[in-house]
Amino acid sequence: MPGWAVVTGASSGIGAAFAVELGRRGHQVLLVGRDQGRLDDVAARVPGSRTLAADLADPAGLAAVQAFLTDPGTSVALLVANAGTGAVGNLVELREPELRETVEVNLTAVACLLRSALLGMLGRGSGGIITVSSSAVDYPAPQHPVYAATKAAVEHLTRTLRAEAGPRGVVVTCVRPGYVRTPFHDRHGADHSEVPAGRWQTPEGVVAAALRAHDGNRAFVDVPRRRVLDRIWPHIEPLRRVLGPIKRKFDKRARVTD
């Protein structure tokens, strides 16, 4: 038996797909989420699993998950830190409670859970961690400023943990999904009508790519794989924003001269 796997945000979408696939691989799975009913629905597809209804923005909920991770009797082999949230709106439009919740769930809780998992993994000299970032970190993210910032922080945390824990037997991988058909997009009301149909991914596809990368001890995996333009655009876009007004100014002068 591969041991316990803990999946946060397991009541739907990517988290549910992780839980099902890890159960298929032979893990006992602890499904963590806010909605007990939806957790039960997913758990019915994962033999031998357990559920824990917990809000990671609530200190009591976070502590309950940490207690499982640090329990010597569970010996957690894999933590999938998938839970995430993010209100839609420009920074000045967001209410402070929404802003704080995004930081608490997407970053503070992730760091705390990773620390708790590592306490046992480093002692055993083995274990695995999968974090979930987003392709939103590569671009200016209007309407998602705090969400994108927290996901960028998760990526840096992943890099650091690979340096700290990798040499001691813990495999740390970050998956960077693009547009995925999950309830997350429906809940947060963003307009994705202009996203090409071919760019949408399934939760199962994201999970398959993430686990392949983790099995191969890769640091990051993009889903879908980024094209050349995707890789260079973050560097082109800021330059375009700076040079655009300058070009328009010179074009205007040229027209006056003519």
Can you say how many angstroms the Cα of residue 180 is from the centroid of all Cα atoms in its chain? 12
Contact in structure between 105 and 56 (CB atoms under 8 Å): yes
Strand partners, 76: 4
- From the candidates 117, 147, 178, 206, which is the catalytic residue? 147
Q: How far apart are CA 254 and CA 33, in angstroms?
A: 61
Rama region for 57: left / alpha / beta (φ>0; ψ in -120 to 50; rest): alpha
Told to judge if 147 belongs to the known catalytic residues of this protein, a careful annotator would answer yes
Cα angle value 47/50/55 (rounded, 5°): 140
- For the chain, give me the number of helices (H) and strands (E)? 9, 9
Q: Which residues contact 23 (CB under 8 A, 6 or more apart)?
A: 29, 45, 46, 47, 48, 49
Active site residues: 147
